[in-house]
Amino acid sequence: MPDREPPHALAGEDLETWSSLATVLEWLPAALDAQLLRDAGLTHFEYGVLYALASAPDETLRMSVLAEYANSSLSRLSRAATRLEKRGLLRREPDPADGRYTLAILTADGRRTVREVSPGHAETVQRLVLAPLTAAQRRQLRDIARRIQHAIRGDEGWRPPAGT
């Protein structure tokens, strides 16, 4: 019996495109984690939590909103928040507007950590993702990523605050 590709298998340029993206999806998180762990003992996920809080009004977000930004379950976010709380980088308290919700609040130490770690993180992102691309390719990457985000969820995902 001859070897055949299974029906609907990726092949040719589609397979090359997917395998390239899949490799980036596997390699990039580890590279981002390595820099952040070395510089601050934080994972990229934990840094993202702190960065989102630092970018939020009053440096405060409901845990449910933060979980949505991080594409995380509340239980995963809660475990990360516990680690960050133990380090004094954030605190949690009931939402005074609605006690059913919990607020995550960036502490002064958390603010300082984001400020200190962000330059190294930005350099890593520049070196690994942005610098290898032309300006036109960076715009294309942004547009492609947004299209994929929309295909996955039908919404735009987290966007940086205006003016950043």
- Number of structural domains the chain divides into: 1
- Evaluate if pTM is beyond 0.75: yes
Give the structural domain span for 62: 31-153
- The answer to whether position 17 is within a domain reads no
The confidence score (pLDDT) of residue 154 equals 79
pLDDT (mean) for 63-73: 90
**Within the chain, what is the greatest distance between any pair of CA atoms?**
69
- The answer to whether position 26 is within a domain reads no
- The answer to whether position 10 is within a domain reads no
pLDDT in tens, 81-135: 999 999 999 999 999 999 899 999 999 999 999 999 999 999 999 999 999 999 9
Query: Can you state the angle between helices 44-55 and 108-125, rounded to 10 degrees?
Result: 120
With a pLDDT cut of 70, the percent of the chain lying above it is: 90
- What's the CATH number where 50 sits? 1.10.10.10
- The answer to whether position 38 is within a domain reads yes
For tokens 């610098």, the residue is 131
- The answer to whether position 8 is within a domain reads no
